[in-house]
A and B are shown apart, each in its own frame.
Chain A
Amino acid sequence: MGYEYIGITVLWLFLYGYLIVASVDFGAGFFAYYAKITKKDHIINQLISRYLSPVWEVTNVFFVFFFVGIVGFFPDAAYYYGQALLIPGSIAIVLIAIRGSFYAFESYGFKNNHLYMFLYGATGLLIPASLSTALTISEGGFIEETSNGVKLLYTELLTSPYSWSVVFLAIVSVLYISSMFLTYYANRADDQSALELVRKYALFWSSPTIIASLTSFIALSQHNPEHFEKAIGLWWVFGLSVFFFMVALFLVYQGKFYGWAFIAVMLQFLSAFFGYGASHLPYILQPFVTITSGATNETMGITLVIAFIAGLLLLVPSLILLMRLFLFNADYVKGKK
């Protein structure tokens, strides 16, 4: 396997990691606000803030990792995306900045401030929507290269059913993943009333998720038949994803094994995400950048892979320490520490 395949796999893994961790975080913000306006905040907000406090920064790093990695492994992709995404990218930056800093302001300074909670909840849904533009334009047809440089075709983007189906999918997935995680976490914390509430959210958001997935598949077949064909060739991967979805739904419905249910959710998205990624290749940005044309030179590629492995050796033990102290420390989760 060439270094460019290692590179794209690593980056894709990081994007997947971000998808999961950030969804939990984004959705939690939305639920916290929703609970506040429906006067149920006393039930779940304690739970949400105990999980979020120690990890919000880690979430952001996943994202930074991804885009810095793109610049390193695929500088051409950075060029095209950079030229095209000035506006959506800037909007995403502003939203991320508002969210991250206001989270810190809220939790260390202005507890339960209504405006801050609103911003926190709203950005949680708007960020995935704006970031999903990057995936949408990778399908081709939304960018034009002229002698003046690369331009994003806004009308095409804003009127395309495919682009809206991706936005819709991004938002529902966030709510689904997040509520599934909170169900597991509430159960760990032995918090019955919170569990009941978030379990209801989880069941509620499961069907829109599967509907949105199907819709975006259909929209893809209209927008980019070639990619759709390749995805059909990998039908078993997507089948696996549906299977894990059923498992997760079944377990939560039964009210048992919430931990396994969340693992099934993670596997559901892992298979769908990798199925999507694999069928997207060889293109990174259709039709301008392919995995081979866009890759960095070999020396840099190999150096980056080495740096990556060394970095992991440093990070994995530290992450394990973090998890043992907080996420999986029963006393902490239950709020005794």
Chain B
Amino acid sequence: MFFEDSVTMSRLLTSLTLAFHVIFATVGVGIPIMISIAEFIGIKKKDSHLTLLARRWTRGMTITIAVGVVTGTAIGLQLSLLWPSFMQVAGNVISLPLFMEVFAFFFEAIFLGIYLYTWDRFKNPMYHWLLSIPIVIGSTLSAFFITTVNAFMNTPQGFEMDGNTVTEISPLAAMFNPATPTKVFHVVASSYLTSAAILATIAAVIILVKKGSEYHRKALKLTVTATFIFAIATAIAGDLSAKFLAEHQPEKLAAGEWHFETEAGADLVLFGSLNEDNEVENAITIPKGLSFLAYGDFNAEVEGLNEVPSDEQPPLWIHYMFDLMVSIGFYVLGISMLFLLFWKVKKWNEENRLLLWGIATLGPLSMLAIEFGWIFAEEGRQPWILRGIMTVAEGATTSDHVGLMFILFCGLYFVLGAGCLLVLRKMFKNNPAEAEFEERYPEVAATKEED
């Protein structure tokens, strides 16, 4: 039974932990920059609403960070527990960024502690804003470091395999491997995007359900603008990632695009299904689209999946993961652009309910895109854990009880997820923004009522 198979169960448990961690990791990377922006504009425009916004976001973030830290600790330990042979090799070659990542966390954790507890301590609010910079740098740097590790798994370099021992090690070459630039760019941009989109969702839902106040309208404008900008960055980075794949990991792109024969002017296949003979049916095809996606040239030659031995081909279902991610990317871009258009054109009402409902879907959909993206990227590397060097099966633990541990962790993540939602709900429900605003800024609130 697969429950007893330690390789399968290690894969499942790693997927579970990462899929859960990445939710909190993404938010942890992206929210600091949103807080920093809101606080900065708030100070510059002397707009206490935005300052309060930054303040409330920070409070919410403490909860998600807490879950991010504990699940991150879990994945860090689990890597050694579940993939000991892989970590033995990786420890020799790619431990530098793993090590530096901890410094980045540490740096971030220290300043987050200070930031949280010093809101009213400085006469000049700019000093407090300055404290947000190390948090943004720390969280983005940790995303950078961990992503270099993942990039290394896709395009390992910086060492030689001599039988079972590694020699000729160059830690910097391993870290700055060919996959690093596009991967880091795409991961960071999509984290920023997703965080902005989640905050936009919250603002939109409150305006829809409880009518909201000026505070929520300002929050909506700020977050949707940010979503739009980050969505452009994400799409550009995604396009660059595809070009990277065409060059360095063609089997992943080919499996993701159901592109079997090497050919020039390759078509892009969207959705559809495969029949028994692996022929594409019911799909939307964009003529020569794949060549353009892969090389920026409609007539370029794209390598097909059949060039790869069949036992080294990634599973074909990742096609759907790719398509869903890209569709969400364009949907987010479209909706946020519509909002900006409705806002700038005076005659149109940007608080059109349909549009607000559209915005309300952006956060959850972006988070799904993150999950789909990772599943595409990780499954697309199969069967390798270190592409071309070590397979997933070789890297896994031989311990018997992985199945049991899987159940244990299912329980843990259920409790953590539920607890997190409950606490966040309680935190903001019992303390609505308007009430907090009047309490913190009585002078401002009073003058508002007079107008």
A contact set with B: CB distance below 8 Å:
53-55, 57-58, 60-61, 63-65, 67-69, 71-76, 78-83, 85-87, 89-94, 96-98, 100-105, 108-110, 148-151, 296-297, 299-300, 303-304, 307-308, 311, 314-315, 318-319, 321-322, 325-326, 337
Q: Pick from A55, A102, A307, A315: contact of B113, CB below 8 A.
A: A55
Given contacts A105-B63, A318-B110, A321-B114, contact A83 B71 (CB under 8 A): no
A interface: dominant SS: helix
How many angstroms from the CA of A89 to the CA of B100 in the assembled complex?
Answer: 23
Supply 17 A–B pairs (Cβ within 8 Å), ascending by A: A63-B73, A64-B73, A64-B76, A72-B99, A74-B91, A78-B80, A79-B88, A86-B399, A87-B401, A97-B73, A101-B66, A101-B416, A149-B399, A150-B398, A300-B93, A321-B114, A326-B113
Q: Mark B87-116, 1 if CB is under 8 A from A, else 0.
A: 111111101101111110111011111101
- Interchain CB contact under 8 A, B419 and A75: no
How many angstroms from the CA of A307 to the CA of B98 in the assembled complex?
Answer: 11
- Interchain CB contact under 8 A, B419 and A105: yes
**Contact of B274 with A by CB under 8 A:** no
Given contacts A98-B415, A105-B423, A108-B423, contact A58 B63 (CB under 8 A): no
**Contact of B117 with A by CB under 8 A:** yes
Task: Among B88, B110, B427, find the residue whose CB has the most chain A CB atoms closer than 10 A.
Answer: B110
In the complex, the 9 A-B pairs of residues with the closest C-beta atoms, listed nearest first: A75-B91, A149-B398, A72-B95, A104-B66, A109-B423, A82-B84, A82-B80, A311-B103, A97-B70
How many angstroms from the CA of A108 to the CA of B67 in the assembled complex?
Answer: 13
A217 to chain B, nearest CB (A): 30
Given contacts A97-B416, A304-B95, contact A297 B166 (CB under 8 A): yes
B95 to chain A, nearest CB (A): 3
Within 8 Å CB of A299, what residues of B?
Answer: 169-171
**Contact of B121 with A by CB under 8 A:** yes
Interface residues of B in 50-92 (CB under 8 A from A): 59, 62-63, 65-67, 69-74, 76-85, 87-92
Task: Among A79, A110, A326, A337, find the residue whose CB has the most chain B CB atoms closer than 10 A.
Answer: A79
Within 8 Å CB of B71, what residues of A?
Answer: 97
Within 8 Å CB of B110, what residues of A?
Answer: 58, 315, 318-319, 321-322
- Interchain CB contact under 8 A, A69 and B99: yes
B contact set with A: CB distance below 8 Å:
59, 62-63, 65-67, 69-74, 76-85, 87-93, 95-96, 98-103, 105-107, 109-114, 116-118, 121, 134, 166-167, 169-172, 397-399, 401-402, 404-405, 408-409, 412, 415-416, 419-420, 422-424, 426-427
Within 8 Å CB of B404, what residues of A?
Answer: 87
By beta carbon, the residue of chain A nearest B402 is A86
How many angstroms from the CA of A314 to the CA of B85 in the assembled complex?
Answer: 33
Within 8 Å CB of A68, what residues of B?
Answer: 76, 95, 98-99, 101-102
- Interchain CB contact under 8 A, B171 and A300: yes
Within 8 Å CB of A326, what residues of B?
Answer: 113, 117
How many angstroms from the CA of A85 to the CA of B110 in the assembled complex?
Answer: 31
How many angstroms from the CA of A68 to the CA of B101 in the assembled complex?
Answer: 9
- Interchain CB contact under 8 A, A110 and B426: yes
- Interchain CB contact under 8 A, B91 and A93: no
Within 8 Å CB of A296, what residues of B?
Answer: 91-92, 95
* CB < 8 Å A-B pair total: 220
Having A82-B82, A90-B78, A93-B74, one finds 5 other A-B pairs with CB under 8 Å, namely A71-B91, A78-B91, A79-B80, A110-B423, A300-B96
A13 to chain B, nearest CB (A): 14
- Interchain CB contact under 8 A, B106 and A61: yes
Within 8 Å CB of A104, what residues of B?
Answer: 62-63, 65-67, 423
How many angstroms from the CA of A101 to the CA of B412 in the assembled complex?
Answer: 11
Within 8 Å CB of B401, what residues of A?
Answer: 86-87
- Interchain CB contact under 8 A, B419 and A72: no
How many angstroms from the CA of A90 to the CA of B72 in the assembled complex?
Answer: 13
How many angstroms from the CA of A64 to the CA of B105 in the assembled complex?
Answer: 10
- Interchain CB contact under 8 A, A93 and B62: no
B405 to chain A, nearest CB (A): 5
Within 8 Å CB of A307, what residues of B?
Answer: 96, 99-100, 103
- Interchain CB contact under 8 A, A58 and B113: yes
Q: Pick from A75, A82, A91, A311: contact of B100, CB below 8 A.
A: A311
Within 8 Å CB of A54, what residues of B?
Answer: 113-114, 116-117
Q: Pick from B73, B80, B422: contact of A96, CB below 8 A.
A: B73
- Interchain CB contact under 8 A, B415 and A109: no
By beta carbon, the residue of chain B nearest A81 is B80
- Interchain CB contact under 8 A, B398 and A314: no
B80 to chain A, nearest CB (A): 4
